[in-house]
Amino acid sequence: YGGISALAGYETVNWGKTILSDGATLHNSDAFIYGGAVNIQADFYLSDRIALTANLKERFIFGNSTGHCHFSYGLGIRIMMD
């Protein structure tokens, strides 16, 4: 499987406070974020009721303070029950 998605949200940094508990100052503040994602997922059937799943996802996020690209992956076992 493959797919493309859009995303939007609101990012809060330290709940809106610019001073951390150790006295350090944050220069970035809360912001609206937006972007998209591309994902690929594959299922490998071991039997008619058990499958291994694998997925890859790359998110492109703009407007935030930590970066623009976030890669994630996952592995799992799917068991189909009646």
pLDDT digits (tens, 9 = 90+) for 51-70: 999 999 999 999 877 778 98
The band of 14, judged by pLDDT with boundaries at 50, 70 and 90, is confident
- Count: domains in the chain: 1
Q: Which of 25, 44, 35 is nearest to 69 (CA)?
A: 35
Inside any domain, residue 20: no
**Domain span holding position 50:** 2-15+30-79
Inside any domain, residue 23: no
The band of 8, judged by pLDDT with boundaries at 50, 70 and 90, is very high
Inside any domain, residue 42: yes
Q: Which of 80, 4, 69, 8 is nearest to 41 (CA)?
A: 4
C-alpha 43: how far from its chain's center?
A: 20
pLDDT in the model for residue 37: 95
28, pLDDT greater than 80: no
Question: For residues 64 and 43, is the Cβ–Cβ distance under 8 A?
Answer: no
- Angle subtended at Cα 39 by Cα 43 and Cα 78, rounded to the nearest 5 degrees: 25
Inside any domain, residue 24: no
